[in-house]
Structure 1
């Protein structure tokens, strides 16, 4: 009988754990241990929630940069992050008092592919690829404008202030508000020696936070998500941004698509040459999608247009757009139109057949006739990995036909399919569902996938 056993701890791991069991001793040892031991000690301290040790390590960090990386992916560890921010020493006299920390970039963003410190930082002129590209070109920014008499003029400030790199989510919770206040207080205390670099900013109910976010340097942000705001409020944020990679706007209100506010929005989009992702939802652009497409980069990767009230005309313009030959992700869910002529959607899929990896057409009132017309184009999307067309009125016979064609796409692994109409007493996505009939559908799908040796595919409904 065999038993699963973990590999025994190494001598280094045992020594680190023994040291962390006595935090005062661990903190005292930081001035003596080789710098190569800092990364494994930091990892253990972070996982163990040793806040005092973490604060002390930030004060004495012997490398140019410190990233929480994959350590922050599984759990937020809010208290650990606060301790690290508290321990950050940015004023010249503070670093002298603690022995002179070399830390210039404290990166608190959870990233699964980022190491604790950049492995190449062993040269005389260290460079971290995660540093702020905007800030490198302009050493003294808005933070320096708040300098007090303690350091005098901006000319006395360090030419290379410390960077504190974060993602901020303002979601109407006390936790989010407290974290933002902590960051802003740290910046104020630094009197120009700390650059707060927010890369990913998410705001829910912009009106509640518009007075606080004005203290952030918007030029650093590359991912912006705004949920619930007026378009005029969103425009004020966008007017300060030029380096956006991803823009998400949801539940945005405005009076007219022919008014000045919408025109201003288009002008901001036109400046965003780096934009790779545009996500709009509950953002009515009916009969005006062509105006949005004309100002977007031709090489846009992701286009998400859920609940945008798109018209047949909009689908026609999309199928003829420059972006229709480059997109990797396309989400047109919840835009039901009359599909008497499915030509624009078919042409769109044909044009995207060489690049499309993720396609969503949920709740679009797509019936058998439309699916039948789309199957040849779908069958050509050889790079498709995810296809979701749930909550559409499809019959069982058409579903079986779709399975036969999509199983030939070897990169396609995930499919979210609509429950066939015969499983409902009267078809409706939320109608009375016959669970026995649905079970029979699933069994037949499983048998078909096994028959063609595509057990690597996952076919699910939204109810699973």
Structure 2
């Protein structure tokens, strides 16, 4: 029988307050600032829209980071309520608001409000640092102009941090329309700062993109577009931490478009994550990697048709010398000479945390060569090698190599070939044989005293 920890008097008081909305809204004028965060968190969880609106209008701190708190299914409605509450008309029922940054992004580890900083550092860790319309730059300009003309106080400026996704249903995106309306109503006092931008229909969202300052974007993902159209974005989004391009067409690797693409990559000093998916790079990976910073942490290259020469360069280049994540799934690795891949794993043994080599046509012979290098990756936390044609004896052997790796917790393994009548044809899969494999692995993990290690596979 499960016993829940009893609620504290403080929790009970907050819930009582939330169930009396008029009283809660009135109390915002009187309660101390330190109670705002727990009350806001509870109001968000309970979806008390009127209280949330009143709290945004009365927020007694410089910033409000909402994203990590909100539930996915409730986000559109609650975010709309909070955005509509920005720039409230003066009302004696509310204390004078101090809110200057409303952050609706899903930035991990970000607290609801930043701690008070009394130094000359920026007052919020998520302040926009690049746009000319950013709060810091506008206020700096206002301070300079107000010092020249005394008696004029600079107008209040605010920053709204968002993540946006433009897909085929973009035209019906009421939230984006609300954002633009709020920016227009602010008469230049609200800076719309898009940090995470995902585009699936680039040709139909050009007009929408014209309302954004792409210097603000730190994570950009584009699906299904021509490389020449992507270049127009990269010329503006010059401060990227993460770039993901999927199903991008390029007519020639010898043409001006690809050379310009490489030039844009060379200028990305902050880039930590690069994902190129379904982007044919056969014998051209070297050109891409050479222009990147040596600070790259994540590299994802699925469906890129990488060659033996590409792997050879990958194993030697400094840009891939300390990767934390490497995904080379859906590239055929069926050469007799596996030394480049072996060297790559050895070189990454001190940093690699996540490795995905799914559907690479890896055989028993190849994996037997790679297994020792794999076992040296002492920081590995997740290893995925599903959909490769291996036997049950090799799967058991891999398990023996992996169980001593203390930090490795998750393994996604391939279903052995004997479970299929015809390998990897789903309709020929024998469910009982798969269950027997799962049972054998469970016993082996128990014998190795690795109950903390999770081995899973995909049958669908």
TM-score normalised according to structure 2 size: 0.90
Match of 1:219 in 2: 215
Asked whether 1:282 is paired with 2:278, we answer yes
Residue pairs, 1:95-106, within 5 angstroms: 100-106=96-102
Decide whether the 8 Å contact of 1:89 with 1:95 is kept in 2.
no
Cα deviations by residue, 1:54-95 (Å, 9 ceiling, x for unpaired) = 2222122111111114312554432111111111017xx759
SS at match of 2:82: helix
Query: Residues of 2 paired with 1:264 and 1:196: CA distance?
Result: 29
Asked whether 1:319 is paired with 2:318, we answer no
Query: Residues of 2 paired with 1:7 and 1:396: CA distance?
Result: 50
Query: Residues of 1 paired with 2:180 and 2:410: CA distance?
Result: 43
Query: Residues of 2 paired with 1:409 and 1:262: CA distance?
Result: 42
Decide whether the 8 Å contact of 1:63 with 1:121 is kept in 2.
no
Query: Residues of 1 paired with 2:15 and 2:408: CA distance?
Result: 45
SS at match of 2:445: helix
Between 106-115 and 319-328, the greater mean CA deviation after superposition? 106-115
Match of 2:344 in 1: 348
Cα deviations by residue, 1:336-357 (Å, 9 ceiling, x for unpaired) = 1441211111111111111111
C-alpha displacement of 1:4: 1.9
Residue pairs, 1:137-148, within 5 angstroms: 139-140=137-138
Where do 5+ consecutive residues of structure 2 fail to align? Answer: 143-151
SS at match of 2:426: coil
Asked whether 1:62 is paired with 2:78, we answer no
Query: Residues of 1 paired with 2:187 and 2:393: CA distance?
Result: 69
Match of 2:18 in 1: 20
Match of 1:109 in 2: 105
Match of 1:150 in 2: none
Where do 5+ consecutive residues of structure 1 fail to align? Answer: 145-155
Asked whether 1:33 is paired with 2:31, we answer yes
Query: Residues of 2 paired with 1:8 and 1:96: CA distance?
Result: 34
Match of 1:291 in 2: 287
Between 330-339 and 71-80, the greater mean CA deviation after superposition? 71-80
C-alpha displacement of 1:415: 1.0
SS at match of 1:89: coil
Match of 2:302 in 1: 306
Query: Residues of 2 paired with 1:335 and 1:290: CA distance?
Result: 16
Query: Residues of 1 paired with 2:153 and 2:392: CA distance?
Result: 71
Query: Against the structure 1 CA distance between its residues 176 and 295, is the aligned structure 2 distance closer, same or farther, given a 3 Å change threshold?
Result: farther
Asked whether 1:82 is paired with 2:64, we answer no
Asked whether 1:195 is paired with 2:194, we answer no
Query: Residues of 2 paired with 1:220 and 1:110: CA distance?
Result: 15
Decide whether the 8 Å contact of 2:357 with 2:384 is kept in 1.
yes
Decide whether the 8 Å contact of 2:129 with 2:136 is kept in 1.
no
Kindly tell me the number of residue pairs found equivalent between the two proteins.
447
Decide whether the 8 Å contact of 1:339 with 1:366 is kept in 2.
no
SS at match of 2:428: coil
Match of 1:207 in 2: 203
Asked whether 1:259 is paired with 2:260, we answer no
Match of 1:452 in 2: 448
Query: Against the structure 1 CA distance between its residues 376 and 394, is the aligned structure 2 distance closer, same or farther, given a 3 Å change threshold?
Result: same
Asked whether 1:229 is paired with 2:228, we answer no
C-alpha displacement of 1:103: 0.9
C-alpha displacement of 1:174: 6.1
Match of 1:433 in 2: 429
Decide whether the 8 Å contact of 1:330 with 1:360 is kept in 2.
yes
C-alpha displacement of 1:121: 5.0
Query: Against the structure 1 CA distance between its residues 292 and 64, is the aligned structure 2 distance closer, same or farther, given a 3 Å change threshold?
Result: same
Query: Residues of 1 paired with 2:367 and 2:45: CA distance?
Result: 50
C-alpha displacement of 1:110: 3.2
SS at match of 1:362: coil
C-alpha displacement of 1:443: 1.9
Query: Residues of 1 paired with 2:262 and 2:42: CA distance?
Result: 49
Match of 2:235 in 1: 239
Query: Residues of 2 paired with 1:96 and 1:310: CA distance?
Result: 66
Query: Against the structure 1 CA distance between its residues 71 and 175, is the aligned structure 2 distance closer, same or farther, given a 3 Å change threshold?
Result: farther
Match of 1:153 in 2: none
C-alpha displacement of 1:447: 1.6
Decide whether the 8 Å contact of 1:72 with 1:111 is kept in 2.
no
Decide whether the 8 Å contact of 2:29 with 2:94 is kept in 1.
no
Match of 2:7 in 1: 8
